[in-house]
Chain A
Amino acid sequence: MASSTTGEKKILTLKGGDNEEFILEESLVLQSELLKNMVKEERVSSIPLPSIKSKTLVKIIEYLKKHAELTPSNKEEFKNFEKEFVNVVLEELLDITVAVNYLKINGLLEFCCQAVADRIKDKSVEAVRKIFRIESDFTPEEESEFRKETPEAFEGDLDDTTN
């Protein structure tokens, strides 16, 4: 069935991973290349997104709404919103980044990746492993080789926290 209409506006349902449904105007999701394609080409009115947590989806919809309201006069306000948007714990920011990558919202993806990069740049190796959920496959001997090879990369106050 084609998407239902109320006046001119088409309505779309997004189903998050926790079975929560979000009903919103179709025009909002067009910033997502993936959703745009599904809506325009396949003419669907309900899209299941089981890999994206509802919490993450709420954040992304919040961004899409703000972005749709963006005009030359509220640019500053939008910039502040963006700053606040990425001001969440790293784990959540990564969830958002992965979801945005899946949905192909290019401008936001770039912004999120830069935010993650800025947050991890002074992290220790251990912290980065935890953040990216990676187990080391190097032996302790190999690891100490790295430290000998480029000692300055391991100098300074490195941050062991993961948030």
Chain B
Amino acid sequence: MSDIPPEVINDILYRLPVKSLLRFRCVSKSFKALIDSPKFIRAHLKQQALKHNSDVKLIFKSHKLYSLDFSSISSSQLEELDHPLKHPYGPTQVLGSCHGLILISNNLSDNGVWNPSTKMFRKLPVCHVNPPQNHGPRQVAGLSQICGGFGYDISANDYKVVKIAQFCHFSGSSLVIVTMVFSLKLGLWKKKVQDCPYWLVKEDNGTFAAGALHWLASTESSSEWSPWVLIGLNLGSERFKLVPYPENLGKPLHLNLAVLGECLCLISGHVVVRTNEKNHVLDHVDIWVMKDYGVKESWIKLFSVEQLDGRQHFSFLRPIAYSVTGKEVLLEMDNRKFLWYSLEKKSLKHSKINGGLDFFESFVNLGTLVPLYGGGNDGGENEKDEKEKIEPEKKDGAGNIEDEDVLVIEEFKLEL
């Protein structure tokens, strides 16, 4: 037996990348027990999130999925990710990522959550989103939008996959939102029907930050120009809530969401209106960050990027991550190249990152040991026991939002 105190071994091991840890599980039974323990997995995740130069990968979604080491970003090679949903026809979509897990999808019936570091995969049972049958006296008409997302429920220490379908009423101006939530811990889909006065304007996947998935929504059905609001679906309460905007946002032409350093981020693209010019060319893009979630005053304009000259001009910029030093921000430009923005020099430079891909979307993914049966905590281990304990959530129609919770038991049986 080692004479090195266990707390020292623990303190050393949780600073290691996943690849080393998977190997060192083989050192001894006590090493394996430590590395597999939920407490260790959480400490490791926390350490990964804190450190800039940890086990982080930049993942590219093109026709296939690729990854690149973030700490040696300009020198390392693009590696194809051999994911379990790979098939020769058509691309696999990435619908969200959180704590080193990614939600991948080929089509509505072929979805799963994957941890690229441990190669663990969990296929999701098929989920059909049907219009609500008995939602009050009103009749429900056509489907307007389907969105989705993936994130972490802080309160239950659980990871959740979300599918949202929005239906219009024949009469009246309100909408019904059907939210389907798959809990990784419980292993089942849960259906919730609620009135929601906001129209989800884009088919975007929700942006995950601070325990909620976020979308931009409109307060009117038809007009693209009606005031946009920012709504967040809290993954604990599974309710929508308005999230405040920055005070001086101006009147942007484009507005998009992103996450930067775990903070929710708004990308607002502005134009200078010139007469006799029909094509709007962006003049500048502002990157806003909400430092303290939910607090309007905490929105700060992190930086602003002026349009580049001539042929270099961009139509869309998206912040991806802070650099290893934290002094630069990596920006994805028009899905085809990268720029570095220096926060100190307030200047842009082209990045040498070259995946050799013509068109892609990118995001950063932490190397974590997070398992797929739970949130990496003590509760996640006895998945079967947990399933037997499920009780439908109680209705508590707060405000004017009606809820209707249904556990989709059939789906869950199919999975077994």
Contact = CB atoms under 8 A, between A and B. Distances in A.
Interface of A: 94, 97-98, 101, 109-110, 113-114, 116-117, 120-125, 128-129, 132-138, 143, 146-147, 150, 152-154, 158
B402 to A, nearest CB: 48
Contact of B15 (A114, A136, A154): A114
Interface string B1-44: 11111011101110111011011111111110000000000000
B25 A146 contact: yes
A124 B11 CA distance: 19
Contacts of B26: 125, 138, 143, 146-147
Given A117-B13, A153-B19, A138 B24 contact: no
Q: Please provide the 6 A-B residue pairs with the shortest distance between their CB atoms, ordered closest to farther.
A: A153-B22, A117-B15, A146-B26, A153-B23, A150-B22, A113-B11
Interface in B89-141: 118-119
Nearest to A158: B23
A137 B29 contact: yes
Contact of A136 (B19, B23, B27): B27
Given A113-B15, A128-B24, A129-B28, 5 more contacts: A101-B7, A101-B11, A122-B20, A133-B4, A134-B2
B23 A98 contact: no
A134 B5 contact: no
A157 B12 CA distance: 22
Interface residues of B, number: 28
A133 B16 CA distance: 19
Given A133-B2, A134-B2, A152 B27 contact: no
Contacts of A122: 20
B40 to A, nearest CB: 14
A88 to B, nearest CB: 16
A121 B15 CA distance: 9
Nearest to B21: A153
A109 B11 contact: yes
Interface string B144-169: 00000000000000000000000000
Prevailing SS type, chain A contact patch: helix
A134 B20 contact: no
B19 A117 contact: no
27 contacts: A94-B4, A97-B12, A98-B5, A98-B8, A101-B8, A101-B11, A110-B11, A113-B15, A120-B12, A120-B20, A123-B20, A128-B27, A132-B2, A134-B27, A134-B30, A135-B28, A136-B28, A137-B29, A138-B29, A146-B26, A147-B26, A150-B23, A150-B118, A150-B119, A152-B22, A153-B19, A154-B23
Nearest to A124: B23
A114 B28 CA distance: 22
Contact of A125 (B12, B13, B24): B24
A37 B380 CA distance: 40
Contacts of B27: 125, 128-129, 132, 134, 136
A124 B26 CA distance: 10
A116 B11 CA distance: 10
A133 B1 CA distance: 7
A114 B2 CA distance: 20
Contacts of A97: 8, 12
B28 A134 contact: yes
Contact of A121 (B5, B17, B118): B17
A121 B28 contact: no
Given A109-B11, A150-B119, A134 B24 contact: no
Contacts of A117: 12-13, 15-16
Contact of B1 (A134, A143, A153): A134
Given A117-B16, A121-B17, A137-B28, A132 B23 contact: no
A135 B1 CA distance: 7
A124 B119 CA distance: 21
A2 B147 CA distance: 72
- Most chain A beta carbons < 10 A, residue from B2, B12, B13, B15: B12
Query: Which of B1, B9, B22, B26 neighbours the largest number of chain A CB atoms within 10 Å of its CB?
Result: B26
Nearest to B10: A113
